[in-house]
Chain A
């Protein structure tokens, strides 16, 4: 069981908006930077968001990240079928002295 809690699945219609939550504690989200990863079927994870809310070059602005207290949220607007993937949050946990990932959330675009 991960120290970061994500919903197992979320779904929304094409063109709609979806949010994915990542809940942690003061030893991780409360004091360190969150990153988010997209894993399309059969491929390696790809960095979507770093430092809580920054997008790497090439990531569209319909992808966003935010953090409040010990929770973080990934938002995707204008959903496309190509967004169907597993999404993971990740962070350094200062108490464990270890990098941890959330359990992952499967996004279905209906």
Chain B
């Protein structure tokens, strides 16, 4: 079955760039209609959507982080990646990747999810 796995540094210094990769297995990242997304969860808090990407490169970003976020895709490796610049302690969170469906102009759900990776922003 489809599985997603996040990877990347667990510690990032303030003002630097957070970089994570999500590897998709058990299916193709190039599937029609499916987008691939990033969601984060600060310790003890709720979920926040970061953005989604299509295999052809089309993206949707959360306006709250849009100025600092870039999501990219590498279909040859069945991976997509997240870059978040100028991080602060407020960006400390568990970062999840997940598959989503775009249907008639709206995203419908997220499934499945990766297990998540904790990124701590600290000097």
Q: Which stretch from A17-25, A68-76, A92-100 is at the chain B interface?
A: A92-100
Residues from chain B with a CB closer than 8 A to the CB of A37 are 47, 110
Contact count A vs B, C-beta below 8 Å: 66
Q: Residue A50 contacts which of B60, B63, B109, B114 (CB distance < 8 angstroms)?
A: B109
Residues from chain A with a CB closer than 8 A to the CB of B111 are 46-47, 50, 56
Interface contact B49-A98, CB-CB below 8 Å: yes
B80 within 8 A of A: no
Q: How many residues of B contact A (CB 8 A)?
A: 24
In A39-65, which residues have CB < 8 Å from any B CB? 43-47, 50-51, 56
CA distance A46 to B62 in the complex (A): 21
Interface residues on chain A, size class: 20 to 34
Residue in chain A with minimal CB distance to B94: A44
CA distance A104 to B110 in the complex (A): 16
Q: Could you name 25 residue pairs across A and B whose Cβ atoms are closer than 8 Å? A: A32-B106, A33-B108, A43-B115, A45-B110, A45-B113, A46-B113, A47-B109, A47-B110, A47-B112, A51-B108, A51-B109, A88-B46, A90-B47, A92-B106, A92-B107, A96-B63, A98-B62, A98-B63, A98-B64, A99-B49, A99-B62, A99-B100, A99-B107, A101-B46, A104-B47
**Which A residues are closer than 8 A to B by beta carbons?**
2, 32-33, 35, 37, 43-47, 50-51, 56, 88, 90, 92, 94, 96-104
